[in-house]
A = this chain, B = another copy of it.
Amino acid sequence: MNLRASEGPRQPEPTPELNELYRSFEDELLVPLWTEIGDLMPPSPRPQAQAHTWRWANLLHLAERSGTLVPVGRGGERRAIALANPGLGGAPYATPTLWAAIQYLNPREDAPVHRHSQHAFRFVVEGQGVWTVVDGDPVAMRRGDFLLTPGWRFHGHHNQSGTPMAWLDGLDIPFSHYVGSGFSEHGPDAVEDHSTPALSRSERLWAHPGLRPVSQPGSSGSSPIAAYRWEHTDAALHDQLELEAEGHPGVVEAGHAAVRFTNPTTGGDVMPTIRAEMHRLRSGVTTAARREVGSSVWQVFEGAGAVEVGSRRWDVERGDLVAVPSWQPMTITAGTSLDLFRFADTPIFESLHAARVHVDGDHS
């Protein structure tokens, strides 16, 4: 039973008086509920965003072209090219809440320093040689690393290597834009510290398992760790699958390991609006169909397989990206051992008591 008959709610017979009334509504900037309720309040989320896939090969090709044709500098700020969900009218939104873009930096280029209240991360599917400098702390970017720029930190990037580098940027720009919460500010036009340490200072303070510096008590909404290194993520996924092989709990479901990047001051998500995870499937595994309130974007990190969202299905390989709208059932099949990075807006719903998850066959 739901609030919407298949063809919309039954309406009163049209009459001249009713038409006159409806014209008056328009004149007064009013809209009746009874004509709109089916769209506004469906039995379950019916998002305008669509499931869609973008190919890394294409993204990378266009980023390289942009590297030739478009300079990076003050004003444009970043050579970033955003996924535009086909259901969202051409806006540069991967989903209604999430921004996902490929960013590209030529050898020796700097991206200028700014800060904004929007939360950002970078994920490196391949390459290295760029440092992102966050509030003065240079953070190396290497394949598999997940890097944070929480809101209102000054940051710029510089490529110290002889080769270009491309990576995935994720932000909550669409959410912030829609609800009207965004602030921004310029910093220096060039990055001031071009040093190239292997580890950021934030990691040296914070990225020790189960430990925190006594000098920095309390909790913050965003994680103080600027870089989550691939070696740790890989080891954690490896350990989960090994535990499963030994007969112990740990994996999400058979053959499916997953870790969540967390804020060590709370144990919660890395930033108030963004959840980020890495998943690993054994070759041949198909995940249970899962629906979640809220939207997400997946990127294949390694391996090949197929992704099914609702009635759509795509074969995917390294770097390919998939946008998953709210409450759409999703299934992944691993053709090889398959590693996937995922980010989602789930913290919004958990904070607002609006999270729901449905997993096929799960009656717990």
Q: Which residues of A pack against B, CB within 8 Å? A: 1-3, 5, 9-12, 15, 17-18, 21, 24-25, 28-37, 39-47, 49, 52, 54, 58-59, 62, 65-66, 68-71, 74-86, 90-92, 96-97, 101, 114, 116-118, 151, 173, 175-186, 201, 204-215, 219, 221-223, 225, 228, 232-233, 235-236, 239-240, 242-243, 248-252, 258-267, 272-273, 277, 279, 293-295, 325-327, 345, 347-349, 351-354, 356
Contacts and interface: CB of A to CB of B under 8 A. Distances in A.
A128 B74 CA distance: 59
B272 A354 contact: yes
B3 A66 contact: no
Contacts of A262: 210-212, 264
B29 A84 contact: yes
Q: Which of A33, A118, A232 has the most CB of B within 10 A?
A: A33
Given A45-B180, A47-B180, A179-B96, A66 B32 contact: yes
A169 B159 CA distance: 51
A219 B21 contact: no
B212 A209 contact: no
A214 B173 contact: no
A28 B66 CA distance: 14
Q: Which 4 A-B pairs have the closest CB atoms?
A: A180-B326, A34-B76, A221-B353, A31-B92
Q: Which of A116, A252, A261, A353 has the most CB of B within 10 A?
A: A353
Contacts of A240: 204-205, 213, 215
Contacts of A242: 204
A77 B37 contact: yes
A308 to B, nearest CB: 19
Given A31-B82, A204-B239, A210-B261, 15 more contacts: A3-B114, A10-B75, A25-B62, A29-B86, A30-B84, A31-B90, A33-B77, A33-B79, A34-B76, A96-B179, A180-B327, A181-B326, A210-B262, A211-B262, A215-B258
